[in-house]
Structure 1
Amino acid sequence: MEKIVSKLLMYGDMPEDTILMQLSKVCKELHSGSYSKEDLTSRVYKQIKRLLILGTSCAFDKNLWHNYLTYLLIMDENPFSLTCEKVGSKDGSVNHFAKSDFKAFKELFDYDFSEIEAALDVDCFSCITNYKAIDKPELMYNGNVSEKVRSLSEELEKTQNEEAFFDCITRFYKEIGVGAFGLNKAFRIHEIQGGRVEFNPINNMDTVVLDDLIGYELQKKKLIANTKAFVEGKKANNVLLFGDSGTGKSTSIKAIVNEFYKDGLRMIEIYKYQFRLLSQLISQIKNRNYKFIIYMDDLSFEEDESDYKFLKAVIEGGVETKPDNILIYATSNRRHLIKETWKDRRDVEQDGDIHRSDTMEEKLSLANRFGVTIGYYKPSRQEYYNIVTELANKENLNISSEELLKEADMWELNHGGISGRCARQFINHMIGEQ
């Protein structure tokens, strides 16, 4: 194995603590003839445990070794894989090095562990190459990752040479992508050394779709139209969803990401205290072959906060043009985002019918940077009944309409008033009661 790993070039700069590199070191010591059987066995078991942990978290199945190698190939963001993500497989000198690496990976796929098992008197490799995962879908935090890795792994198993391996991998890079962005829908960020941003996948994102949001048809239509234009490479606008709490603003954003994920849409959630990282974030994703929504939930600023000025410049108005593959979608309970006070009107100048206030204009200008603004308002009593009834029908609740609405009225009186969120919570309560 150590000789095979030493041939890797494009994919050869893996950290020393990766499972593949550690097993390669074990094989090297085994072949040197100078080793402690107990020490090597312990080190092998440690890497097998790591494989099992990865396999459990991603619900890998059948051949964990093949799943692991496939996972490495998918996650490795190198010049070759990133180029394939953008333009697919093109003729070029880099293909020579890539095919050499894929020949090595093909050898790793077909690697015979019988030698190391016999020398150390273990059978763990035979077990992980014929593995039966626990068939519990609810244990899969990210079934999307599992499905893609296992599917590609099975395709690679059937390849006969590095040419077929090359075709299979490059097709995946072009159709799905490479790295975490290729496998996941949504991310949060945190700052790492050097001021760079690290993207952390949100593995348990709500699977809600727009049909689950009852009512608000005009709002959903506007949101879909803007997002559809965006993923198709047409001109689109930043979006502000504003209005009463519990009306479905955040749900709409999650649903739109779920619906357009297959078209290359990804979401990055960012909090107000992270606005200083926006420029670095944008620089790291602007050349990727995805469409990114930078999502800001419950966006608002108090009177004494000035971060909105930085956000305003980043959205539109800075020296550098915002990349075409990035939009900002925000939700807020405030239409104008920034708290206004009566003292903002002290600098009003009046001249006939002309009214001007520099302070007020400064505060209103942030909301104006969003080309699409969509209002979400509390439903009427009848709309609330409609939401409750449709949700109850979807959940097949066994209760009469009269009793359902009576219970819904009693629920909303004690749970914040009429809203879509209140209706959803009420239905969840009813499901738990049955």
Structure 2
Amino acid sequence: MFRPDSALKMKFTGVYFAGRQLSVYRRLLSDGIFKLLMDAVELTIDDKPSPERLTDTYFELTHRLLETDVPPGFNGDPWQYHLLSLVLGDDNTFSRQCETKQFHELDAGLKKAAGLDLRNIGAVSALDARSIRHMVRSKLMDLVPWVAELPSFESWPGWDLAPGHTPIKEAGVDPDITLANDLLKTDDWQSKLPDVAQFYRENGAGIFGRHLAFRWDSSETGAYLQGIEKPDPITFNSLVGYNNERKTVIDNTEKLLQGLPANNILLYGERGTGKSSTVKALLHKFGRQGLRLVEVPKQNLSDFPRIIQLLRGRAQKFIVFVDDLSFEENESDYKYLKAILEGGLEAQPQNILIYATSNRRHLVKEFFSDRESHSTGDEIRIQDTMQEKLSLADRFGITVTFTSPSQSEYLAITETLAQQAGLQLPREELHRLALQWEMRYNGRSGRTARQFVDWLTGEKKKRRF
């Protein structure tokens, strides 16, 4: 029942060598799941593999693929989805050049190498759970005949049992799913090379094609860009008030996307006025037009030169976002930011802007001790230091001020949010409760209004109103 046939073994041998013959997409070989599958194939065509290693490799591969989330609309299995995600998300010479060049402008030798890789990857994608399970069990029976007598041997699982992989046809699926399905339908992936190149051009290569938002993570083991799977869903439609302030930010961002001169922006104002939400909402307005948002914690400002170098030259436009920017008396990290804003020997790239939020107009605390000294020399030095700190905010080309709302503005924001939430309450009653809320909690702000409406919505659902 489980004896391997020579045709299947020949197919596995061909797939094994196809998977090894990658040049442009060589990084796929270092992927954990890809390596497990190649190891499983190698062990099945080997004359005398270790039974223990063969079993462990198969079950580890199955485990990893059963945990792979396959989105609706994809017409393949978890292995194929994982493999296609690697291809469409790979950062290599071909994908990077596709970001900035038309297909006919690409080097002919590079296109040939990438096409051959796609043909080989297509061969690897054709392996399914059933055939691999069959080959592994056949090999085990040859090595350890009594294994077939084990009750569990007849019911080995495969990743084809993964929930949610059943083909679902939906309209409006993501472009990567559409291209992935097109690749699965063709026998020769090399013929789809122009479509793959166009995907990179429209969406970006590597991590910049897979994500719209990023966070700069730094630890003892190193620093790197971490893609954010689910960015804050805030949109401008859900933000109320401050229309003029937000228009300034939107207009400046549009200039960046159009390749026109644009300014770094400081968004200054009281807490809860929507400064950070304004920046985050840009992602959902312009993300599909090539905008990417990179959040950098204040404590990692010393990494700014490395971050700028990483983003320089990419086809996408980047907003490097520093939230809640301020410096205490003895902090000196502001110098890294100031060096970028001022521009030195290395100019700020045209595809990058810096947006920062702060509740301090000059970003740095100014103490009376900064003004005091006991000698003329000290006084000159301290005055110079103070001016250097206070001039940091001036290095931003545009400062957008978010003032705390007046009572009437606060109530107007509350009314709009309540209407969006579907709350039906007499206007006078809504105002009375909203004013009680702001006095009891966080004062007047857009955030306070949002928190009040969220509370009121919860109360309504509990049928207290």
Q: TM (normalized to structure 2)?
A: 0.83
- Identity of counterpart residues, as a percentage? 36
2:445 aligned partner: 419
Q: Does 1:105 align with 2:121?
A: yes
Which secondary structure state, in structure 1, belongs to the residue aligned with residue 362 of structure 2?
coil
Which secondary structure state, in structure 1, belongs to the residue aligned with residue 346 of structure 2?
coil
1:245 aligned partner: 271
2:355 aligned partner: 329
CA contact (8 A) 1:345 1:359 kept: no
Q: Does 1:307 align with 2:321?
A: no
Match of 1:394 among 420, 443, 448: 420
2:394 aligned partner: 368
Q: Does 1:4 align with 2:18?
A: yes
TM-aligned CA deviation for residue 15 of structure 1? 4.9
Counterparts of 2:436 and 2:335 in 1: how far apart (Å)?
A: 45
2:411 aligned partner: 385
CA contact (8 A) 2:256 2:262 kept: yes
TM-aligned CA deviation for residue 382 of structure 1? 0.6
2:434 aligned partner: 408
Q: Does 1:186 align with 2:213?
A: yes
Counterparts of 2:300 and 2:399 in 1: how far apart (Å)?
A: 23
Structure 1 residues 77 and 129, CA gap change in structure 2 (3 angstroms): farther
Counterparts of 1:183 and 1:328 in 2: how far apart (Å)?
A: 22
1:429 aligned partner: 455
CA contact (8 A) 1:148 1:183 kept: no
Match of 1:273 among 299, 302, 306: 299
Counterparts of 1:133 and 1:113 in 2: how far apart (Å)?
A: 16
TM-aligned CA deviation for residue 176 of structure 1? 0.5
CA contact (8 A) 1:106 1:165 kept: no
Counterparts of 2:350 and 2:259 in 1: how far apart (Å)?
A: 8
Superposed CA RMSD: 2.7
Counterparts of 1:307 and 1:399 in 2: how far apart (Å)?
A: 50
1:187 maps to a residue whose letter is F
Post-superposition CA distance 1:1-41 (Å, at most 9, x none): 31110121111233545211221111111112323556423
Counterparts of 2:32 and 2:127 in 1: how far apart (Å)?
A: 18
Structure (1 or 2) with the larger CA radius of gyration: 2
Task: Give the number of aligned pairs.
Answer: 415
Post-superposition CA distance 1:276-323 (Å, at most 9, x none): 111111111112111111111110111221211221012223221111
TM-aligned CA deviation for residue 233 of structure 1? 0.7
Which secondary structure state, in structure 2, belongs to the residue aligned with residue 14 of structure 1?
helix
Bigger shift: 181-190 or 421-430?
Answer: 181-190
TM-aligned CA deviation for residue 118 of structure 1? 2.0
Which secondary structure state, in structure 1, belongs to the residue aligned with residue 233 of structure 2?
coil
Counterparts of 1:431 and 1:73 in 2: how far apart (Å)?
A: 45
TM-aligned CA deviation for residue 61 of structure 1? 5.0
Counterparts of 2:363 and 2:445 in 1: how far apart (Å)?
A: 21
1:155 aligned partner: 182
Q: Does 1:73 align with 2:87?
A: yes
TM-aligned CA deviation for residue 220 of structure 1? 0.8
Post-superposition CA distance 1:335-386 (Å, at most 9, x none): 1111112344458xxxxxxxxx644432222101100100001101111111
TM-aligned CA deviation for residue 428 of structure 1? 0.6
Q: Does 1:21 align with 2:35?
A: yes
2:82 maps to a residue whose letter is Y
TM-aligned CA deviation for residue 211 of structure 1? 2.3
Unaligned runs of 5+ in 1: 135-143, 348-356
Counterparts of 2:250 and 2:31 in 1: how far apart (Å)?
A: 45
Counterparts of 1:17 and 1:343 in 2: how far apart (Å)?
A: 57
